[in-house]
Amino acid sequence: MKRYPIRMIAGILLLVSILILPFLYPVQAWINMPTSLTLIEGQEETFASFGGEVVEQDNAIEVTAQDGEQSISAGGVGQHEMVYELAGFPIKKVNVDVVKDLKVYPGGQSIGVKLNTLGVLVVGHHLVETGEGRVSPGENAGIEVGDIITKINGTKVEKMSDIGPYVKQAGENGKPLQLEVRREEETFETELMPIQQSGEAQYKLGLYIRDSAAGIGTMTFYEPKSKKYGALGHVISDMDTKEPIVVQDGEIMRSMVTSIEKGRGGNPGEKLARFAEDKKVIGNIKRNSPFGIFGELTDPIQNGILDEPMSIALSHQVKEGPAQILTVVDDDKVELFDIEIISTIPQKFPATKGMVIKVTDPRLLEKTGGIVQGMSGSPIVQDGKLVGAVTHVFVNDPKSGYGVHIEWMLDEAGIDLYGNDLNQAS
């Protein structure tokens, strides 16, 4: 009879211990310690200490503990591993990736962008009047808006002027054109017979086509050893098809901001700019991706305000709080403006929306109303490090928008953070 209450009390105590165990500081610290960690060479990361002893697998990793915290640093670029033990038993393994302390020049300059498509881009259909009715030969051939015509009769076409001779020859000979067409990631072949417009001598395809696109944006960074750069922070899409432009090549040049259409709720506003008068090409465009445009510069660039190479911050190192952006709102003068990082996600995989930012600088709010079109790519700086770039504005709140983490733009540019040859082709 006496043993029953003792058992019951022991059971209750055991249950209470189990329930409160997850809330104990050492257990919380153990849970919050990541199983994979990325460090920048020579920099430290601080975590709560849970009392385990580190068994180092190599000498590249250094761990110091003091006042309930542990600091982890690594001196060797590459992949490492460390194991925590408690009372001689392994309790946690952490994979440590160490990347080089890469330094890049921050941008902020307004740039003009000219893209040449891979072939000619179909941006619409039009009906040809034949006297017997109206028809679009291109539509009948199964060609859709957004398709890219890459070859005619087996020969590559690159610009609109390449098309005319083929159309004329096909019309006069009465033989249909053999087209190779790219649609998204697939390529197919089709026949298209041009027809003559009623009352005209010319033959028509029944298609609206374009071979290039132009606009403005903002430079994000420049890596001096490889001459690689990144800009814009988002993909360039065709204004008619709304589809990403498949780039064959392109070029960038300096541009000058002439005026600002101020952003308001429902209207994000816009930078109005023109290409610099000398129209000097300062770099090429090799890639148009969800993270921006990328290529190589022919001349070094300076923004006149932060002209020293700057370390980067990885996504998990970015924190909520004050930051700044570099951008142009008048002529070609780059300026620093205050913003706040409202939220940031420590991403393990590339994604275009890693931060939510808000413009707090009274000067910029007075001039632009917040984030405007053409500001995309403006570098975000926090604690003396380049952390990302402005990408999109919230249409209903122009003061706020998204930012992309800089490590994903560097990856898209072909810049290897693990110290491989930066001069190799991307």
HSE-CB at 270 with a 13 A cutoff on CA atoms is 7
Rg of the chain over Cα atoms, rounded to whole angstroms, equals 29
Tokens of 281: 């090409």
Based on the residue annotation, tell me whether 376 is a catalytic residue of this protein: yes
Tokens of 238: 């065709």
Which one, of 320, 342, 324, 322, lies nearest residue 334 by Cα?
Answer: 324
Determine which one of 376, 378, 400, 405 is catalytic: 376
Chain position carrying tokens 């770039």? 389
CA pair distance 114, 137, nearest whole angstrom = 30
CA pair distance 306, 221, nearest whole angstrom = 11
Which one, of 420, 357, 372, lies nearest residue 272 by Cα?
Answer: 372
Question: One-letter amino acid identity for 263?
Answer: G
Contact 181, 147 (CB under 8 A): yes
Instruction: Give residues with Cβ within 8 angstroms of 105, minimum separation 6.
Output: 221, 222, 223, 224, 300, 301, 302, 303, 307, 308, 309, 310
What is the phi/psi pair of residue 80, to 5°?
Answer: -135, 175
Determine which one of 234, 316, 392, 405 is catalytic: 234
Which one, of 338, 251, 256, 343, lies nearest residue 294 by Cα?
Answer: 251
- Neighbouring CB atoms inside 10 A of 97's CB total 16
Instruction: Give residues with Cβ within 8 angstroms of 386, minimum separation 6.
Output: 104, 106, 221, 310, 311, 312, 313, 379, 380, 406
Based on the residue annotation, tell me whether 234 is a catalytic residue of this protein: yes
Based on the residue annotation, tell me whether 416 is a catalytic residue of this protein: no
CA pair distance 135, 50, nearest whole angstrom = 75
Chain position carrying tokens 């960074």? 221
Determine which one of 361, 378, 392, 400 is catalytic: 361
| Straight-line distance from the first to the last Cα atom of the chain, in angstroms, rounded to the nearest whole number | 80
CA pair distance 131, 416, nearest whole angstrom = 62
CA pair distance 37, 314, nearest whole angstrom = 11
Active site residues: 234, 361, 376
